[in-house]
Structures are given as structure tokens and as C-alpha cells.
Chain A
Amino acid sequence: DAKTTQPPSMDCAEGRAANLPCNHSTISGNEYVYWYRQIHSQGPQYIIHGLKNNETNEMASLIITEDRKSSTLILPHATLRDTAVYYCIVRVSGGYQKVTFGIGTKLQVIP
């Protein structure tokens, strides 16, 4: 599985959009981009995933560049409850074997 690079920390004002970048320059054609978040020490929570098209759900939007070497997770209106560590991972279809989440981006939403 390809490795990802994320900034270690980011701040965002409450109510504003939070844009979290992820670099995955060695991604393969059959690898998907997944985003999870972990609030405090709770179990990670799935947010969204995509292959090459932009995706949106009730939690967030995922923008993947045309060359698929990077992506951005967008939380449109960040709230204090969005303060968490956000993990970007890439993996082939068919499971999570050997996927290590890395240290992610610690997003602090500021009142």
C-alpha cells in the first residue's frame, strides 16, 4: 500500500471550512483514498473515501487531484466537535491488510 504524508497539525476557526491536505504521490491505480478521524482516544471513525472522482457525504467532501497524487478533505463548517486527529490512508480494494495509519493531522477547531 502507498504511504501518505499529512501536516502534523492545523487550526481552523469554528464555522469556517477546514481543508486537510494529504499527499499520496506513489498511489497505484487500484488504490482508494480513505479518510478517518479519531476523537481523543476513541476508536477511529470512517469519514469518506474515493478513487478518482470527488466525493461528498453528510460529513465531508473529498477532492482528489486529477493525477491522484494528492487529496483534500473538506469539512465545510467546522465545529468544536470536529477537533480530532484525521488520518488519510490509501489501500487496494479488498481489505485493510497491512495498512498502518500513521500519525495523521491533528485538527484544532478554535472558538
Chain B
Amino acid sequence: DSGVTQTPKHLITATGQRVTLRCSPRSGDLSVYWYQQSLDQGLQFLIQYYNGEERAKGNILERFSAQQFPDLHSELNLSSLELGDSALYFCASSSGTGQHRNTEAFFGQGTRLTVV
């Protein structure tokens, strides 16, 4: 158990719909990262938050957005869903950035999104 909790574990929804994926980081971790993994693909970095602020953005679509709340949990919002958005979405957390160097990231078990 990594200590990172993602809900829901599975999600099936129709094209055009909007969903929200939730991530609770490990206790004390300030950084949250979101990754997308399509079938037989590597993990693609989407976005990073640190203590409530966006710190880095990867190849995240404009239809996707995220935020980190004061209690440090994070949500990834996916809208106008398309079939190609079907994937595993992972959240990871680490203790920090900047002065907190070389801290490994701990990954949750992912949310499997299926768009039909």
C-alpha cells in the first residue's frame, strides 16, 4: 500500500460526458502528479500541483483540468469525453519539490476509465 488513494477504481461513462477523478496523497505529501496510461503505452505526465498551486503541465488536453485543494487532495476533471480518453489515470504524490530533493513519488492504484 503506497498510501495514495484514488477513487473510483473503475469508471464507465459515455462519450460527451464529464467525470471527476479523485486523489488523496500520502499524509504530509505536498506534491501531486497526474499521469495517463493508454493501453500498452507508457505513463504520460499530465500535470503537477504543489501545495495547491499548479507547478508543471505536460500534454494535458484543454478538455482536462485539475486542482489541488487546501487539504491537499486533488481532482482531475475530464470533460467532453471521447473514446480515446479511455485509459488508466494514475495519481502520485511526493513530499515536495525545490528544497525537497530526490524524493521518490508514490503512486496510487489508478482509476480505469472506459468511455463507451
Q: Which of B4, B50, B56, B105 has the most CB of A within 10 A?
A: B105
Does residue A7 face the partner (Cβ distance < 8 Å to B)?
no
Main secondary structure of the interface of A (DSSP, over half): loop
Total interface residues on B, CB under 8 Å, equals: 35
A-B contact count (CB 8 A): 73
B104 and A100 contact, CB distance less than 8 A: no
Would A46 and B110 be within 8 Å (CB), given that A94-B98, A96-B33 are in contact?
no
Interface residues of B: mostly helix, strand, loop or mixed? loop
**Which residues from A are CB-within-8-Å of B99?**
94
The reply to whether A32 and B102 form a contact with Cβ atoms under 8 Å apart is: yes
Chain A contacts for B44, CB-based, 8 A: 100
On whether the beta carbons of B100 and A99 are closer than 8 Å, the reply is no
| A43-B2, A43-B4, A102-B42 known; A96+B48 contact, CB < 8 A | yes
- B window 100-116: CB within 8 A of A: 100-102, 104-110, 112
Q: Which B residues are closer than 8 A to A by beta carbons? A: 2, 4, 31, 33, 35, 40-45, 48, 50, 55-56, 58, 88, 90, 92, 94, 96-102, 104-110, 112
Question: What are 6 A-B interface contacts by the 8 Å CB criterion?
Answer: A44-B92, A44-B107, A46-B106, A96-B31, A100-B43, A101-B35
